Amino acid sequence: MADVKIDKAPAGLEGPGFFATSLDQVVGLARKNSLWPMPFATSCCGIEFMATMASTYDLGRFGAERLSYSPRQADLLLVMGTIAKKMGPVLRKVYEQMAEPKWVVAVGACASSGGIFDTYSVLQGIDRIIPVDVYVPGCPPRPEQILDGIMRVQDLVQKESIRRRDSAEYKALQEKYQIQ
């Protein structure tokens, strides 16, 4: 029989027949283990992501095997590949169509910084148009690195307060990017 590992229970008060913790911790635990990624793959890094989804690496082990090809049913945007400046508005529209709360990973050198394509036509990092939570280095990153990036997002998701999206800090971030 498979060795099933259960995620750690959040910190709380425990006694015979009861366990009490905060809503933040329960929501964080649920969100962390049920991310719905949307792959925005434009070139070679997308191939590494395909390997990450396949049986050897199996993103399903992290509760994130349900990919979305509609931004409205996704909460984790994975941007993989070279993003031409012409594609910038499309990427931004996809981001805007995702419901809150949402997180973004820039997978690989191109999405993070333009990579080797220091040219007039390539966006020099997606954080010029949308906020990024985690950057995965590499050209291309190995599937292990992509998994590590997703685990870093899971850490952020678990620790995020359910009030963060209403906070002045988050509103300032949206204003900086002129997101309505």
Q: Does 124 bind ligand SF4 (CB under 6 A)?
A: no
Report residue 88 as tokens.
Answer: 């910038």
Residue 115 interacts with ligand SF4 (CB under 6 A): yes or no: yes
Among the listed residues 140, 147, 149, 150, the single contact to ligand SF4 using CB under 6 A: 140
Residue number, 81 or 143, with CB nearest to ligand SF4:
81
Neighbours of 112 (CB within 10 A): 23
Q: Which of 104, 110, 123, 157 binds ligand SF4 (CB under 6 A)?
A: 110
Q: Which of 28, 81, 143, 149 binds ligand SF4 (CB under 6 A)?
A: 81
- The CA distances from residue 174 to 70, 151, 167, 180, in Å, are 22, 24, 11, 7
Q: SS3 for 108?
A: helix
Size of the site for ligand SF4 (CB under 6 A): 11
Task: With CA atoms as reference, report the closest residue to 110 among 35, 59, 175, 47.
Answer: 47
Query: Which residue, 26 or 41, is less far from ligand SF4 as judged by CB?
Result: 41
Q: Which of the 8 DSSP states describes residue 73? A: G
Q: How far apart are CA 161 and CA 2, in angstroms?
A: 34
Per CB under 6 A, the list member of 44, 67, 162, 179 interacting with ligand SF4 is 44
User: Which residues of this chain interact with ligand SF4, rule CB under 6 A?
Assistant: 43-45, 81-82, 108-110, 115, 139-140
